[in-house]
Structure 1
Amino acid sequence: MSKSAWISAGKVSAAIAAVALLLGAVFQGQAQQRSDMADVRAELRSGFAEVNGRFAEVNIRLENISGDLVSLRERVARIEGHLALPMDAGTQANMAPETEEGG
């Protein structure tokens, strides 16, 4: 093999090695990017799960508040009903008379 053929073969080998290194770097970068994206997805899923959990807690609290409001409305209606009852003579007789305080 002639000297120029050796030089040419060396250049080809160097070019192949450079391409191999470049491809290796590209593949490594892609693998790192996939890993990073998987990490981001995991963080997002975790964050969404946390937010969904908080919404569930808030919904439970709102349901409890709603139930409490219904109960309060019923109590107020009963109280209003009791206050609206006409007083019979016995009830009026048992009431303390109003007195005026004077000097």
Structure 2
Amino acid sequence: MITKENMPACDVATTVQLIGSKWKTLIIRDLMTGSKRNAELKRSLEGISQKILTQSLNSMISDGLVERIDFQENPPHVEYRLTNLGKSLLPVIEEMRKWGAIYKVAIKE
């Protein structure tokens, strides 16, 4: 979690600290289409452990990017979705997708 005390001076460094991990970026990608349950995220993120998924989600909740919705049902039903602040990252993720496509073409040439 970023606090006022450990906030990087550089804006790029702040963004990297918030979404710089492979898993956080992919979680945002998955939540772009709407709310997801933990199991849906785990299936989509091939290779992620439950521990890392939980840590990443909790960090993103603390940073205000993701919110946890508890439906107070039995069996438990919890979903995660992007906050408005988290949704503001969608253009960043879209540009990363576009650049990734350009890179794939460039290295084939």
For the criterion TM > 0.5, the same-fold answer is no
Q: Which one has a larger percent helix, Structure 1 or Structure 2?
A: 1
Computing the radius of gyration from Cα coordinates, the structure with the larger value is 1
TM-score (norm 2): 0.22
Q: Which one has a larger percent strand, Structure 1 or Structure 2?
A: 2
Q: Which protein has greater RCO, CA pairs closer than 8 Å, 6+ apart?
A: 2
